[in-house]
Structures are given as structure tokens and as C-alpha cells.
Amino acid sequence: MIRLLCLLLLLPGLAAAEEVVLGLSRDEVSISTTFDGDEILIFGAIKREEPAPAGNPLEVVVTVAGPSVPVTVRRKARVAGIWVNTDAVEVDLAPSFYAVATTGPFDEVLSAVEDLRHRVSIPRAIRSVGAPAFIPDSESFTDALIRIRTEAGLYRRDEGAVDLSEETLFQASVRLPANLVEGQYATRIFLTRGGRVVDVYVTQIAVNKVGLERWLFDLSKSHALIYGLLSLVIAVAAGWGASAAFQALRR
């Protein structure tokens, strides 16, 4: 019993043998009417109480995840010459944006067991457990969601994008696309050796609408009728202006 207690007391010290000291080029992103994307520089250092252990090299994994919400994925099929929705699967939670960057090949940097435990890879970051029983290939809907969002630049896996120097300093640049969703973006940094996670650091990046974007968003939520009427007036004014300009050009 005494030996067990001593071992338990030593475990925190062992777990903290290598720790992340993190910095961000910015911890807030503002979405305005001219927003066309942004870039976040994630950098840091590894703090140690003793020299780095020999053997397996240190690796770094960085993830940035946008707010997770349910998503309905539909499959179309051609029926009587018309494309219609035939099946649908609701993915329980899927991040609106997800980027994972590593110092090397993902499968070498992180083991499958640790990926399952920490939900690091893109498929693991998506939770889908409530698929209808009559759809045998429900996994294909999740695969389709990943493919669509990857093509849109919302999901990315960048192997070798994290630069690690002397197993002490690291940095990675994460590109944020223009079609971001407002909210808190969870940023995680994993230190691994031999595919096993030895430390995790978690922080947040705030993404908020500002200026006219914020005013319109708040108006649509708090005064939906006024927002709708304003949208109608703007559409009519734009149509009238285009018609007047066309008539002027014809003269």
C-alpha cells in the first residue's frame, strides 16, 4: 500500500516532465464585411525539469476546431429522371472548421489509441452515433461531409506543417477561411513520443462579427421583422437602381 501511494504521488511529476508554454499571434479574429480569411500563428516552447529523454523523438500536433453543431447530410438519387433526396443522416456533432497540423506523418506522430482517446483526427472529431438502422452505409455520409468541407477549405490535415526546433521551440501557421462561423475556436497542442501523448495544452481563439456584419446579425436575431423588411427594401432599391442604370445606358 505504501509503495502504491508513493507511485501515485510521483505520477503528476512524471506527467509534467515535458510541458507546453504556448503563445498566439492573436487570440481574437474579427469578421467584417471585407473579411476574406485570416492566418493565426501558433508558437511555443517545451518546458522541462530535466534533459529530454532519449529514444523516441518529440512530436507536436496542433488542432483548431470551430463550434460543433448537428448537421444533416442528404443523399440524392435519380428517380424518374429527376434528382431527389432519398436518404438522410443527422451527424450529431461536427465542427464548423477543423484543422490539424503535425510535425510528421499523422499515423507516426499519434497512435490510433491516442487518436481515439483525444479525438484528434478529422473523422474522430465528428460524432455520429444516431444513424437510422435502415441505412447500412451510414459511414459514407460522414465521409461525404468530410469531403465537402475539405473541398471548401473548412477541414484540413497538414502533415509536416509544424516546425519543431531542437525539441524545444515549435510554430505552426493555421489559415482560417473567409466562411468562418462565429464562436470560440478550441486550440489544442499535443506533445507526443512514440505515438503516445505526454502533454496537452488547450486555449481558445474568439471569432466575432464586427461593424455592419455584427449590426445585421444582431438585427436578424432580435428584430426579425425589421430585418426582413429592410432586406426587401434593399432588394427593391438595388433592382430599381440596376434598371435605371440599364435604361440610361440604352439612351
- Kindly state the DSSP code that residue 131 receives in the 8-state scheme: -
Taken in order 132, 137, 140, 142, the sign of the CA dihedral is positive
Residue 38, pLDDT above cutoff 60: yes
Give the C-alpha separation, 60 to 182, whole Å: 27
Task: For residue 96, name the pLDDT band (cuts at 50, 70, 90).
Answer: very high
Cell readout for 79 is 428517380
pTM confidence score: 0.74
Query: Is 84 or 74 the better-scoring residue by pLDDT?
Result: 74
Give the C-alpha separation, 112 to 129, whole Å: 19
pLDDT digits (tens, 9 = 90+) for 99-122: 999 999 999 999 999 999 999 999
Question: Where are the domains positioned within the chain?
Answer: 13-209, 210-251
pLDDT digits (tens, 9 = 90+) for 180-236: 888 899 999 999 999 999 999 999 988 876 555 554 555 455 656 665 666 666 677
* Total Cβ atoms within 10 A of residue 87: 17
Radius of gyration, alpha carbons of the chain: 24
Tell me yes or no: is domain 13-209 CATH 2.60.40.3880: yes
Give the C-alpha separation, 118 to 99, whole Å: 15
